[in-house]
């Protein structure tokens, strides 16, 4: 057998498949999926893919079967009439790979009636296990920062409270940055979240929400400069995780907190 050339060809093919990540044989005979009449749509974030309602009936070429995850997210977000419905819509949205590795869907914490809505990046390990945003070390610093200007996520009075969420509700593996495709498919949910909570001001914590909502990053230059995101006045600030690594930057963060406080009190 080993001297037969087909053996080497077959072994090379098998090695190639193993390298690609195929770890088990599912069928004895190959299936031509191009000829399957009722193939299931696959999730894909690729632009140009179609929303499910737009799929024509009958057999489709494989390329046309990719569902536009952004369109699905947009439809789910738009049909959510309140925050509870939005939270449920996010928890049942199955097109983002990050969900598979996460224990919980981290929606929000604090008071939805607060005047300030803080938007961070994504849950870490502590947030994933507790199902709440910003509860680890960075979150504890965030709490201390806002307490310094008299605000807290547990305050019952909307004037004294904050509302906290993230761009991404699922923890990325090894706390990597969410990819542009992952962010794109969650954006309709973030936009609807802001629309339903109706805060007076947004605080964008670090580069990820700046890139997602303003289309640019460079937090060192952007922080402390009021801008507009989702039709709301928005203040980019250093992420508290950055402040833990760079305590000398707390001085700028304090400056930004005072700006925010002045704006809350009706100043410029
Ligand atoms: N960092 C974030 O951006 N969000 C969290 O919830 C926790 C850490």
DSSP class per residue in 16-69: HHHHHT--S---SS---GGG-TTPPPEEE--TT-B-GGGPPSS---GGGGEEEH
Residue 35 included in any domain: no
Contacts of residue 193, defined as CB under 8 A and 6 or more positions apart, other chains included, come to 83, 86, 108, 165
Cβ–Cβ < 8 Å for 169, 107: yes
The domain that contains 130 carries what CATH number?
3.40.470.10
Residue 38 included in any domain: no
**With 90 as the cut, is the pLDDT of residue 50 above it?**
no
What confidence score (pLDDT) does residue 10 get?
76
Residue 253 included in any domain: yes
Tell me the best of 124, 140, 183, 244 to mutate to test the pocket of ligand 1, counting ligand atoms within 8 Å of each CB and taking the most.
124
Chain mean pLDDT for the chain: 88
Residue 84 included in any domain: yes
Cα 121 to averaged position of ligand 1 atoms, centre (Å): 5
Total Cβ atoms within 10 A of residue 151: 23
**With 80 as the cut, is the pLDDT of residue 34 above it?**
no
Higher pLDDT, 66 or 84: 84
**With 50 as the cut, is the pLDDT of residue 122 above it?**
yes
Give the pLDDT band (50/70/90) at residue 94. Answer: very high
What is the CB < 6 Å shell around ligand 1?
120-124, 127, 133-134, 136, 138-139, 166, 205, 241
Report strand pairing: 116-120 vs 162-166: parallel
Residue 50 included in any domain: no
Residue 168 included in any domain: yes
Model pTM? 0.78
Q: How many domains does the chain have?
A: 1
What confidence score (pLDDT) does residue 42 get?
45
Cα 169 to averaged position of ligand 1 atoms, centre (Å): 10
Residue 20 included in any domain: no
**What pLDDT, in 10s, does the model give residues 7-21?**
777 776 666 665 555
Residue 239 included in any domain: yes
Rounded Cα–Cα distance for residues 41 and 62 (Å): 9
Find the domain containing 199 and state its range. 64-264
**What pLDDT, in 10s, does the model give residues 134-161?**
999 999 999 999 999 999 999 999 999 9
């Amino acid at each position: 057998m080993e001297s037969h050339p087909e053996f080497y060809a077959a072994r090379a093919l098998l090695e190639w498949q193993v390298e690609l990540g195929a770890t088990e044989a599912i069928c004895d005979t190959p299936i031509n999926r191009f000829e399957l009449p009722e193939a299931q749509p696959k999730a894909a974030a690729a632009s140009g893919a179609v929303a499910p309602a737009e799929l024509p009936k009958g057999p489709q070429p494989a390329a046309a079967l990719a569902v536009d995850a952004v369109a699905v997210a947009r439809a789910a977000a738009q049909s959510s009439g309140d925050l509870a419905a939005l939270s449920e819509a996010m928890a049942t949205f199955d097109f983002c790979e990050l969900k598979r590795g996460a224990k919980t869907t981290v929606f929000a914490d604090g008071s939805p009636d607060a005047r300030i809505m803080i938007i961070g990046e994504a849950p870490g390990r502590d947030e994933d296990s507790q199902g709440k945003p910003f509860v680890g070390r960075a979150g504890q610093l965030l709490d201390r920062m806002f307490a310094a200007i008299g605000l807290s996520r547990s305050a019952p009075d909307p004037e004294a409270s904050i509302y906290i969420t993230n761009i991404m509700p699922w923890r990325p593996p090894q706390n990597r940055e969410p990819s542009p495709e992952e962010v794109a498919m969650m954006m309709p949910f973030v936009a609807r979240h802001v629309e339903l909570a109706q805060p007076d001001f947004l605080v964008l914590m670090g580069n990820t929400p700046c890139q997602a909502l303003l289309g640019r990053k460079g937090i060192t230059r952007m922080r402390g400069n009021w801008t507009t995101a989702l039709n709301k006045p928005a203040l980019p600030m250093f992420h508290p995780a950055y402040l833990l690594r760079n305590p000398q930057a707390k001085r700028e963060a304090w400056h930004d907190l005072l700006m925010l406080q002045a704006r809350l009190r009706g100043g410029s």
